[in-house]
Amino acid sequence: RYNGRMTNEQFPRLVLAGIALVSGGALAVALIAQYGFDLWPCLLCYKQRIPYLIAFVAAALATVPRFDPTARRHIVFLCVLLFAANTALAAFHAGVEYKWWPGLDACGGALRDISVNDLAAALSGPSKTPGCDEAAIRVFGISMAGGNVILCGLLTAFCLWAALQKPRWTTP
């Protein structure tokens, strides 16, 4: 009979499945925006996908039934670090988009030497890679980078809370 309480065996797998689901969903949204709506990412946008990919793969693998509970908890701590770093990167990117500070040189934030090949490539057609200071889209005034700050901040808090539930990570 179900008593409304999650067992110590269910908790880790559900936490990891949730992390994998949200990470995979964030990657899917980014790819749909890119290929479905022609909203091409800049260099910083691409870098913000890496923590989601690592978290997705690690969390999905850790949901395997015979995975060690201690290793599962360590993966959630890894996700805390990944999402915290991604929060900082997304906050930097959002600040660049809102013109609060300059971007990176690699994102078109500074002048660089231009070769004849670069000039020919620029004249041949529009680039699909925008500068990091241009938001591809804003919804209610929040860019995708700003939304990523919110999502990764929430994921960081959730993963930290879940990882600190030490008694829930042991098997009976």
pLDDT of 5 reads 64
* Structural tokens at position 168: 């829930």
pLDDT at 51 over 80: yes
Average confidence (pLDDT) over 117-122:
57
User: From CA 73, how far away is CA 90, in angstroms rounded?
Assistant: 25
pLDDT at 70 over 50: yes
With contact defined as beta carbons under 8 Å apart, do 91 and 148 qualify? Answer: no
In the chain, % of residues over pLDDT 90 = 28
pTM: 0.77
